[in-house]
């Protein structure tokens, strides 16, 4: 009997192209900076999550180099085998101090960190509640843990409270700063609801740490929430801190349980120790150089004021993530293409990343931008076609 041919994937790819949902990679041929070399062309980029401009900071680069000279390139094994170095330990302790939590635990990516929390703390048929606009990693984590996933209206703690019975949930999960909208979750109200039913509250603060809060400590600092046993924080290191990786922070029992039971921690090679050295340097810079956040906030204010004068359809965001709502995918692609013709790179975000009918340009500002960069962007946005055909 001859083998059957594999499934034909071409029709699905063609459907994506016809529906304006096809995604193509861009080739970056230089460092992660506002003035980027992309597909062989110099463009002013508003795509990067390098919010504090630390990805190319000389101190961070030098720390990575020194780390490689001391530790080599790879870690060689998982943390629980022989891959957990003194560099990893120092970074975990620094992250715990930075976030005001008892302990922190490194993961390779934010996706793996969220998978680890759900795999360790929830199981088959445990009820978990998530914001409808949560990052895909939080939604996938619940599904892969075989928990019963329920979703509440975006940012609506009152609606969540109405749907929860005492003892009726194992975990409530939310973004701290929503990655496509830039708005903040109402963490105090969510914490109150979670406490009432005896659930953990998991806050994915990938886009808040380093950026929001009086000292840049993230969404928990912004809302004045102190460490407590029900609160679990996930943060990434490849955004405001400019390097790579992620961590989970929380109480002693939660972190120790993750070490024992989080499959995405146990069964993966530890990140390079040199990378931990670079991240520790970035963390110290973020802590001492408050001017970076001040400059970033000034740029955000400048952009929003200019956008208001132009009557641009911006989402309500006080963070570096500024969504310009196009509506349908074709328009978002046309806007992105028009900006690129003007020498400016802004990504078009389409379903399923965002809900149907809310395709957008996701404008990301960085402390590495200058006021003139923002003015140039606004001038280009003013020329975008905004009628029915544009």
pLDDT score of 4: 79
Domains of the chain: 24-53+290-382 (3.90.1150.10), 58-288 (3.40.640.10)
pLDDT score of 19: 85
b/e burial code for range 254-273 (CB count within 10 A of at least 16 → b): bbeebbeebebbbebebbbb
pLDDT score of 235: 98
- pTM score, whole prediction: 0.93
pLDDT score of 199: 94
CB 245 within 8 A of CB 229: no
Taking phi over 0 as left and psi of -120 to 50 as alpha, with beta for the rest, 242 belongs to left
A 10 A CB-CB count for 35 gives 14
Catalytic residues: 179, 207, 239
Residues 336-356 have pLDDT tens digits of: 999 999 999 999 999 999 999
pLDDT tens digit at each of 390 positions of the chain: 678 778 888 889 899 898 888 888 889 998 999 999 999 899 999 999 999 999 999 999 999 999 999 999 999 999 999 999 999 999 999 999 999 999 999 999 999 999 999 999 998 989 999 999 999 999 999 999 999 999 999 999 999 999 987 767 899 999 999 999 999 999 999 999 999 999 999 999 999 999 999 999 999 999 999 999 999 999 999 999 999 999 999 999 999 999 999 999 999 999 999 999 999 999 999 999 999 999 999 999 999 999 999 999 999 999 999 999 999 999 999 999 999 999 999 999 999 999 999 999 999 999 999 999 999 999 999 999 876 545
């Amino acid at each position: 009997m001859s083998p059957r041919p594999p499934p034909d994937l071409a029709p699905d790819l063609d459907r994506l192209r016809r529906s304006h949902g096809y995604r193509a990679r861009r080739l970056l041929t230089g460092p992660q900076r506002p003035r980027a070399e992309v597909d062989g062309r110099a463009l002013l980029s508003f795509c990067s999550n390098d919010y504090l401009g630390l990805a190319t900071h000389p101190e961070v680069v030098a720390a990575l180099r020194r780390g490689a000279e001391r530790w080599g390139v790879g870690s060689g094994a998982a943390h629980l085998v022989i891959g957990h170095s003194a560099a990893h330990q120092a970074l975990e302790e620094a992250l715990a101090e930075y976030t005001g939590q008892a302990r922190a635990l490194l993961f390779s990516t934010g996706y793996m960190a969220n998978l680890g929390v759900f795999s360790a703390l929830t199981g088959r048929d445990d009820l978990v509640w998530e914001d409808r606009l949560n990052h895909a990693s939080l939604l996938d984590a619940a599904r892969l843990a075989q928990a019963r996933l329920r979703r509440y209206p975006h940012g609506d703690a009152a609606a969540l409270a109405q749907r929860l019975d005492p003892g009726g949930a194992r975990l409530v999960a939310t973004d701290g700063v929503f990655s496509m909208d830039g708005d903040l979750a109402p963490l105090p109200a969510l914490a109150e609801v979670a406490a009432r039913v005896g659930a953990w509250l998991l806050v994915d603060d990938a886009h808040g740490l380093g950026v929001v809060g009086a000292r840049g400590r993230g969404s928990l600092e912004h809302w004045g929430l102190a460490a407590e046993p029900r609160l679990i924080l996930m943060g990434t290191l490849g955004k405001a801190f400019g390097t790579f990786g992620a961590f989970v922070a929380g109480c002693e029992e939660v972190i120790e349980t993750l070490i024992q039971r989080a499959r995405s921690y146990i069964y993966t090679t530890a990140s390079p120790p040199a990378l931990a050295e670079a991240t520790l340097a970035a963390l110290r810079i973020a802590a001492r150089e408050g001017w970076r956040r001040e400059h970033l906030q000034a740029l955000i204010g400048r952009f929003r004021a200019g956008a208001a004068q132009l009557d641009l359809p911006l989402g309500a965001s006080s963070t570096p993530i500024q969504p310009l709502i196009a509506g349908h995918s074709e328009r978002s692609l046309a806007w992105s293409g028009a900006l690129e013709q003007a020498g400016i790179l802004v990504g078009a975000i389409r379903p399923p990343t965002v809900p149907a009918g809310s395709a957008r340009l996701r404008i990301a500002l960085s402390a590495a931008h200058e006021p003139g960069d923002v003015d140039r962007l606004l001038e280009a946005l003013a020329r975008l076609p905004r009628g029915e055909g544009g």
